[in-house]
Every structure is written in C-alpha cells, then in structure tokens.
C-alpha cells in the first residue's frame, strides 16, 4: 500500500504529512514557517530540511498557492516574483527521489472535500484567497477568482486575504466575506461552497446551509487524489 507525502505550501507556513491509501494520516503533521523572501531556492531548501523527520514514503503530492501547469509554476502572488516558470515538480522529484505531482492548493483542498455531486466551490482564506470549482467531481482548473475585482479597484484577495483582515479588522472583514459569498452564490449558483484556510475560523456569521466550513487538514488529504 503506497504512502503519499502531502505537502502544502502556504504564504505563512509549509506543512507536510504522510497519508495512506485509506485517506488516513500516517504519523504527525509537521510545519515550518515559510522563509522570507520566499524564493524557489529558499522554499525547496526548507522542504528538504523537513524530509528526514517524515521517514519513508513512496510518492509526493504538493499544493501550491498560485497557477500551476504540469508542475510548472506560472504565478505566485503571495510568495516571490522568481517563481514564474519554475519547475517545482522537477525540483521536488530531485530532492525527494520519489514521483512528485504539484497542483494549485485550492484545487487540492477541493479534492479532499467535494462530494462529487453538482456544482461545488471552494475558497481558502489565508495569506491570500484561493478558489476552485468542481462540476460532478471534475475540476475546472486555474480559477483565479482572488485576483478578480470585487469592490471598486479592490480584488477579493485585497479584502479577504490576511492584509485585508489586518487593515480593516475582523468586523469589516466578515462583512466583506458575507457580501462576497452572496455575490458568488449569484454568479456560480453553487450547490455547496466549502470555506477552508487558516482564517476560516475567524468567520463570525452564519453563512447559510449551502456553505460548509472545512477542516484545514483537507489541504493535505486532498493530495492523495492527484494519484487517482
């Protein structure tokens, strides 16, 4: 039974955990702060330093906060400008010496959450704002909703990311999120919306019966689906 090492690269932290074929964690989740500046070299070096404590594994799945095409990073707005066209999949295959697959982090979180029925949407609230869309379990790739205009010249990420929360405070952040959910409901007509990410716990209103607050571990468990 193959063991998958799931890695979640975030704007503030890098997490990893081993998962078996039954979607069950094998061992403890480990975490390190994302290095600053978060260049490709610094992030890969950080991941390499975390590998020894994980022991043996057979393959690697990686969630990355940006647009990913066949393992190559196209955008990394919350990390560093050097990421454009960096082949992260190749770099991590080299240091782990195991088959590796890399995908957008919101897409992977969605794989760990969706039921496979109807139109399901995921947003992640962390350093930035990720988003993913699934139709009957099939991913619609590279949905960069976070950088779309939301209010005036401000994007969803400007107001719902970490900087928006710090600048405007929790009350206004919640008001913006409530408005954003209503807008997404009108635009996408989703059957279910899952909200994950570290700041999902800051939600202070009831978002509705079609909205599900997700456990943050889904960003790691979903990595297994990249191999199915």
Residue 218 reports pLDDT greater than 90: no
Give me the residues paired with residue 60 across strands. 5, 100
Q: At what angle do helices 88-96 and 40-50 cross, to 10 degrees?
A: 30
Burial 61-78 (b: 16+ CB within 10 A, else e): bbbbbbbbeebbbebbbb
Same domain, 90 and 117: no
pLDDT of residue 1: 83
Residue 158 is given by DSSP the state: H
Q: Which domain holds residue 207?
A: 110-220
Report the predicted TM-score, pTM, of the whole model to 2 decimal places: 0.89
- Looking at the structure of the chain, the number of domains it has is 2
CATH of the domain at 24: 3.30.420.40
Residue 145 reports pLDDT greater than 70: yes
pLDDT digits 0-9 by tens, 2-29: 999 999 999 889 999 999 988 788 888 8
pLDDT of residue 141: 84
pLDDT band at 142 (very low <50, low <70, confident <90, very high): confident
Residue 221 reports pLDDT greater than 80: no
> What average pLDDT does range 164-188 have in this prediction?
97
Same domain, 78 and 135: no
């Amino acid at each position: 039974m193959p063991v998958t090492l799931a890695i979640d690269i975030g704007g503030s932290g890098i997490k990893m955990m081993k998962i078996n074929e039954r979607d069950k964690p094998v061992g403890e989740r480990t975490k390190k702060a994302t290095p600053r500046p978060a260049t490709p070299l610094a992030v890969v070096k950080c991941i390499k330093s975390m590998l020894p404590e994980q022991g043996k594994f057979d393959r690697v799945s990686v969630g990355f906060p940006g647009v990913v095409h066949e393992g190559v990073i196209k955008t990394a707005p919350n990390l560093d400008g050097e990421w454009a066209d960096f082949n992260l999949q190749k770099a991590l295959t080299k240091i782990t010496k195991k088959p590796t697959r890399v995908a957008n982090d919101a897409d992977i979180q969605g794989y760990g959450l969706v039921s496979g029925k109807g139109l399901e949407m995921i947003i992640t609230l962390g350093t930035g704002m990720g988003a993913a869309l699934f139709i009957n379990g099939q991913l619609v790739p590279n949905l960069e909703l976070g950088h779309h205009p939301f209010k005036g010249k401000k994007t969803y990420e400007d107001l719902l990311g970490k900087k928006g929360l710090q600048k405007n405070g929790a009350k206004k952040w919640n008001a913006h999120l409530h408005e954003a959910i209503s807008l997404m409901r009108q635009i996408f007509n989703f059957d279910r919306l899952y909200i994950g990410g570290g700041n999902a716990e800051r939600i202070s209103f009831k978002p509705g019966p079609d909205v599900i607050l997700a456990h943050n571990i889904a960003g790691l468990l979903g990595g297994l689906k990249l191999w199915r």
